[in-house]
């Protein structure tokens, strides 16, 4: 008896004498709460909402233009994760394209901490900038930004993290999460916010007579960076994110085969050669590129990742790649070592709190601070609970990384705030710093808030497939329209289809580990590693199958493939 659960069984959407491809597409879009079908399927940069709808955008552009025209010293202050590094690189690229010299500063995780801390302020003051533009940070640095402004430095904060009013700095802020911000897209990454600043600045410069005959770059030149930041920060791939990433992936695909004279794309050519990439998609970014770029900030200095993205020759990018590869291997070993040593208890509480500050007694003790977020994510996914992992910080402080799959961590952080020195983040991922003496209070408050905010969650049955079809519906039109829903990821999962009671002939074995069936209508069904997962070397009379669609082109002709997720005995 099959226990296959399908979110949209055939009788819930299929109507005779209608265009089945259109009906399937409408069902999938509705399930993603997408109303503007044509805009979603045929994305264009013209569909980007006006950046000047963002609060403080006009004033920020005016301030930056004034600094440009008066040849003031401008400094970009970024962050050490993928989103922060790509946002930093984006602004560096733009200012280089318009021939305006700027400097970049990315705090060191181990010596400065996250964002603009007092230590960061001291280093920034030594550089004597006239204007600081933050990217992917700054929204909670109220005291520190006040110090910078008191020193006569103008500050524009661009950020996308959740806002806590009590910690919000008194300066120009470009952040769609502000309550009185009218921008229609809130859930965008820091690199996307930086892009909107660039669009607004470019528009304003074009209209300024003082900028006549000066260069203004094509916006596509920055979409690779926004795409990396969006995927790495797991932003929902709908609305603006879908537009930017769809065109961004196309741009990355084009530029990875561009000649070396195409400035700033050397890193893509190196990645292509080192990993033998035929295409760049969501999986390549999530499992190859993002961990590589993240590794530098986690293990040493994010400047290595920034140099990789800013490389102007393939030789330079290749050298930076080798450094990142080494750091990423070290990161992988360190997180596995930490995970094995942690004592994860299955308590009655709705959350898991782990003090990892004394897990190591060796030279690695400082470095593992950079991997506790990954470890927290792994534990949370395994136990399906909110997780807080605490590590040693600087001086008399601990640092904490919090992760959850469901619910809102910022509500938890508010409960912890009386005991925290600094905190910030998103609904699913957050970080904090607190005095070591407050560890018992933080631990107790974490458990109490998890019991309060996560107590009402109910476990719902997860669908193994999104929509049921029959074999005759798998025609060229369906295979042509499904790729238009891409890129897939958070908020826009890849559609998983199901066919019930499919009669399967005996499969062909490929390399003695994969299985292949040639179905009626010219459809090929592939089950990667199917020999290992299922004993289906003998033909089954009827099976229920879940799968994704893949259009493969050979000599200009579409080959329709379905890639099996699972096979069940037919109900």
* Separation CA 147–CA 125 (nearest Å): 10
Q: What is the pLDDT of residue 156?
A: 98
Q: Determine what percent of the chain is predicted with pLDDT higher than 70.
A: 95
Residue 464 banded pLDDT, cuts 50, 70, 90: very high
Q: What is the pLDDT of residue 427?
A: 87
Strand, coil or helix: 201? helix
The average pLDDT across 69-96 equals 98
Q: What is the pLDDT of residue 461?
A: 61
Q: Tell which wins on pLDDT, 313 or 395.
A: 313
* Separation CA 460–CA 214 (nearest Å): 58
Model confidence at 530: pLDDT above 50: yes
- In the sheet where 422-425 sits, what is the strand order? 352-355, 387-392, 397-403, 429-435, 422-425
Model confidence at 458: pLDDT above 50: no
Tell me the pLDDT tens digit for each residue of 235-250.
999 999 999 999 999 9
The average pLDDT across 70-77 equals 98
Q: How many CB atoms lie within 10 A of CB 33?
A: 10
Q: What is the pLDDT of residue 205?
A: 96
Strand, coil or helix: 455? coil
Residue 560 contacts by C-beta under 8 Å, 6 or more apart in sequence? 474, 475, 476, 479, 521, 522, 523, 524, 549, 551, 552
Q: What is the pLDDT of residue 268?
A: 97
Tell me the pLDDT tens digit for each residue of 317-356.
999 999 999 999 999 999 998 888 887 766 667 899 999 8
Identify the H or E element spanning 75: strand 74-77
pTM over 0.85: yes
Tell me the pLDDT tens digit for each residue of 130-145.
999 999 999 999 999 9
Determine the Cα angle at 267 with ends 265 and 273, to 5°. Answer: 110
Determine the Cα angle at 239 with ends 247 and 49, to 5°. Answer: 85
Helices (H), 279-348: 282-284, 290-299, 303-309, 314-341
The average pLDDT across 346-369 equals 72
Model confidence at 459: pLDDT above 70: no
Of the candidates 285, 231, 233, 229, the one whose C-alpha atom is nearest the C-alpha of residue 256 is 285
Say whether the peptide bond before residue 487 is cis (omega within 30 degrees of 0).
yes
Average pLDDT, the chain: 91
Tell me the pLDDT tens digit for each residue of 240-298.
999 999 999 999 999 999 888 788 999 999 999 999 998 999 999 999 999 999 999 99
* Separation CA 201–CA 401 (nearest Å): 35
Of the candidates 387, 467, 400, the one whose C-alpha atom is nearest the C-alpha of residue 435 is 400
Q: Which residues of 94-119 are buried (b: 16+ CB within 10 A; e: fewer)?
A: bbbbbeeebebbbbbbbebbbbbbee
Strand, coil or helix: 526? strand
């Amino acid at each position: 008896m099959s226990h296959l659960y399908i979110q949209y069984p055939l009788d819930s959407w299929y109507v005779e004498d209608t265009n089945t491809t259109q009906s399937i597409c409408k069902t999938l879009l509705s399930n993603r709460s997408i109303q503007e079908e044509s805009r979603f399927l045929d994305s264009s940069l013209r569909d980007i909402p006006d950046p000047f709808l963002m609060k403080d955008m006009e004033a920020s552009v005016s301030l930056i233009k004034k600094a440009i025209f008066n040849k003031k010293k401008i400094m970009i202050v970024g962050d050490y994760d993928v989103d922060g590094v790509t946002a930093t690189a984006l602004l560096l690229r733009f200012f280089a394209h318009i021939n305006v010299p700027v400097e970049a500063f990315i705090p060191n995780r181990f010596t400065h901490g996250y964002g603009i801390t007092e230590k960061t302020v001291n280093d920034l003051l030594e550089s004597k900038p006239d204007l600081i533009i933050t990217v992917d940070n700054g929204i909670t640095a109220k005291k520190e930004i006040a110090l910078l402004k008191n020193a006569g430095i103008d500050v524009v904060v661009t950020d996308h993290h959740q806002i806590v009013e009590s910690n919000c700095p008194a300066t120009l802020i470009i952040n769609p999460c502000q309550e009185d911000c009218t921008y229609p897209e809130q859930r965008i990454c820091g690199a996307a916010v930086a892009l909107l600043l660039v669009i607004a600045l470019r528009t304003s410069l074009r209209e300024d007579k003082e900028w006549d005959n000066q260069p203004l770059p094509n916006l596509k030149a920055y979409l690779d960076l926004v795409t990396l930041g969006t995927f790495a920060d797991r932003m929902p791939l709908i609305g603006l994110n879908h537009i930017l990433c769809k065109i961004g992936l196309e741009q990355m695909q084009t530029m990875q085969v561009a000649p070396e004279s195409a400035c700033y794309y050397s890193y893509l050519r190196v990645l292509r050669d080192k990993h033998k990439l035929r295409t760049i998609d969501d999986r390549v970014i999530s499992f190859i590129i993002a961990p590589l770029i993240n590794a530098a900030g986690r293990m040493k200095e994010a400047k290595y990742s920034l140099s990789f993205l800013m490389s102007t020759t393939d030789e330079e990018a290749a050298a930076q790649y080798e450094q990142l590869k080494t750091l990423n291997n070290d990161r992988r070993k360190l997180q596995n070592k930490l995970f094995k040593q942690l004592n994860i208890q299955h308590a009655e509480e709705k959350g898991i709190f782990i003090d990892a500050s004394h897990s190591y007694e060796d030279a690695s003790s400082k470095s593992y601070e950079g991997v506790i977020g990954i470890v927290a994510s792994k534990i949370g996914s395994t136990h399906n609970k909110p997780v807080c992992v605490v590590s040693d910080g600087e001086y008399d402080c601990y640092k904490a990384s919090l992760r959850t799959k469901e619910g809102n961590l910022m509500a938890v952080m508010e409960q912890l705030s009386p005991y925290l020195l600094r905190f910030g983040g998103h609904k699913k991922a957050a970080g904090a710093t607190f005095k070591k003496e407050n560890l018992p209070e933080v631990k107790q408050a974490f458990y109490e808030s998890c019991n309060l905010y996560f107590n009402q969650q109910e476990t719902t049955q997860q669908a193994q497939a999104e929509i049921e079809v029959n074999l005759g519906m798998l025609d060229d039109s369906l295979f042509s329209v499904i790729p238009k829903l891409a890129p897939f990821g958070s908020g826009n999962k890849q559609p998983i289809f199901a066919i019930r009671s499919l009669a399967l002939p005996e499969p062909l074995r490929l390399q003695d580990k994969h299985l292949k069936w040639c179905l009626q209508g010219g459809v090929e069904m592939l089950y990667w590693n199917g020999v290992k997962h299922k004993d289906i070397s003998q033909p089954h009379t009827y099976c229920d199958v879940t799968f994704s669609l893949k259009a493969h082109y050979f000599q200009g002709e579409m080959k329709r493939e379905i890639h099996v997720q699972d096979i069940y005995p037919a109900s």
